[in-house]
Structure 1
Amino acid sequence: MNINIDSYYYMRDNIFDKVQKASNVEKLAMAVLMACLTGILAQIIIPLPWTPVPITGQTFGVLVSGLFLGKRFGVLSQVIYIFAGILGVSWFAEMSSGLSVFLGSTCGYFIGFILAAALIGYISEKYTESRNFKKMFGLMLVANFACIYIPGLIGLSIWLYFTQGAFPDIITLIMMGLAPFIIGDLFKVGIAAGISKVALPKE
């Protein structure tokens, strides 16, 4: 049993070390792959009739991008995802793309993706003790609900002002841009934090 555990720790540490010591070209390739993962997860979608913001799986890609690639390349993966989508790669929700989609109701959430990847990447790189389940779960809660939803709700409010002529009240805004996503996001945060515990070295 100890041999198996030792082998697991060795393999985990070895893989992580190779990722950390990869060349910038290799890390760029990994950032592109993480952008692709975010785009694929964006197609897991549940439209909601009372809000232009759908439930998607893409925030899971955002969380793990910072976790595995660190601050610099985790952020780069989300920048690639956003700019490639603006330039025509159809990997925003519902296989959409273009500047008009980016500047739509979910613009603030896109900006939040970059902030969330930066926070998770910075903390997981600098503080190895943060990679256990409990601490990473707390960190990802902050990244998900503060870094993503605060700019997301601000952007949604501005979009509603320009499209409907008035800012929504706070209850309406929360019901459109936050409340429907809480349960699903807790689930995604839990899985991502579990991956951190299993896949990342703690020292």
Structure 2
Amino acid sequence: MTRAFSATGLALTAVFVGIIAALGLVPALAVPGVAVPITLQTLGVMLAGAVLGRWRGAAAVVVFLLLVALGLPLLAGGRGGLGVFFGPSAGFLVGFPVAAFVIGWLSERLDTARSLAKGIAVNVVGGIVVLYLFGIAGMALVLHLSLLQAATAALVFLPGDVIKAVLAALVARGAHQAVPGLLPEMPRADREPVGV
């Protein structure tokens, strides 16, 4: 983990904090009947994990969320401050670093730099399945919905998030081909068995 946070690792982490923040400049899309807007910042979360790996990807997201908590208007729509962590999007925000970590861990383990299909699958698992677990629970809690009602409301995000997962896999694969070694090396015993 210490190698992940070398000077280069810290610089890359900072770059991804900026990328996630920049994606917040794209206006959020409000969907009638759904309290959580559609934003591009989940793409930034997927990219952070897929490009940087588990530790740096999660760290970039945590730093971004700390800046939001301090009041910087970095979320889509210019939102920021502690209040956003008590609103309908709170579950998604809390799930951001977990999603980035899962995507990064799977990317390191499955060598997604060489396989677009694996890259897409990894982003779907971390950026949709894991993130939705947090987001749906948060919506249910804050909006006083049943889990089924919250899950049904979250279905509106699914088509866009699948597109984001594909885009993140494409960008990450290109980044890894252009700059080999972006993902930290997993110990040999933890890697996917040869032939899988």
TM-score normalised by the chain length of structure 1:
0.79
Correspondence 1:111-190 to 2 at 5 A: 111-128=94-111, 131-161=114-144, 167-168=145-146, 170=148, 172-176=149-153, 178-190=154-166
1:127-173 deviation digits (Å, cap 9, x = unpaired) = 32564111111111111221101110001110012xxxxx3461x32
Confirm whether residue 63 of structure 1 aligns to residue 46 of structure 2.
Answer: yes
Confirm whether residue 193 of structure 1 aligns to residue 169 of structure 2.
Answer: yes
Residues of 2 paired with 1:119 and 1:133: CA distance? 17
**Which of 73, 84, 89 is 1:101 aligned to?**
84
SS of the aligned residue for 2:18 comes to: helix
| Aligned match of 2:193 | none
Asked if the contact 2:100–2:127 (Cα under 8 Å) also holds between the matched residues in 1, the reply is no
52 and 43 in structure 1: CA distance in 2 versus 1, 3 angstrom threshold: farther
1:109-129 deviation digits (Å, cap 9, x = unpaired) = 012211111111112223325
Give the CA deviation at 1:26: 3.0
Asked if the contact 1:75–1:118 (Cα under 8 Å) also holds between the matched residues in 2, the reply is yes
46 and 22 in structure 1: CA distance in 2 versus 1, 3 angstrom threshold: same
Asked if the contact 2:36–2:88 (Cα under 8 Å) also holds between the matched residues in 1, the reply is yes
Asked if the contact 2:23–2:40 (Cα under 8 Å) also holds between the matched residues in 1, the reply is yes
| Sequence identity percentage | 28
Asked if the contact 1:46–1:55 (Cα under 8 Å) also holds between the matched residues in 2, the reply is yes
Confirm whether residue 41 of structure 1 aligns to residue 23 of structure 2.
Answer: yes
Residues of 2 paired with 1:175 and 1:181: CA distance? 10
Higher helix share: 1
Correspondence 1:6-21 to 2 at 5 A: none
Residues of 2 paired with 1:118 and 1:22: CA distance? 13
Give the CA deviation at 1:92: 1.3
In our comparison, the structure showing a higher alpha carbon Rg is 1
| Aligned match of 1:24 | 6
Give the CA deviation at 1:28: 1.9
Confirm whether residue 110 of structure 1 aligns to residue 86 of structure 2.
Answer: no
Give the CA deviation at 1:175: 3.6
Asked if the contact 1:104–1:159 (Cα under 8 Å) also holds between the matched residues in 2, the reply is yes
Asked if the contact 1:160–1:168 (Cα under 8 Å) also holds between the matched residues in 2, the reply is no
Residues of 1 paired with 2:9 and 2:43: CA distance? 20
Equivalent residue pairs, number:
176
Asked if the contact 2:95–2:135 (Cα under 8 Å) also holds between the matched residues in 1, the reply is yes
83 and 41 in structure 1: CA distance in 2 versus 1, 3 angstrom threshold: same
1:42-67 deviation digits (Å, cap 9, x = unpaired) = 23211122121001001110111012
TM-score normalised by the chain length of structure 2:
0.81
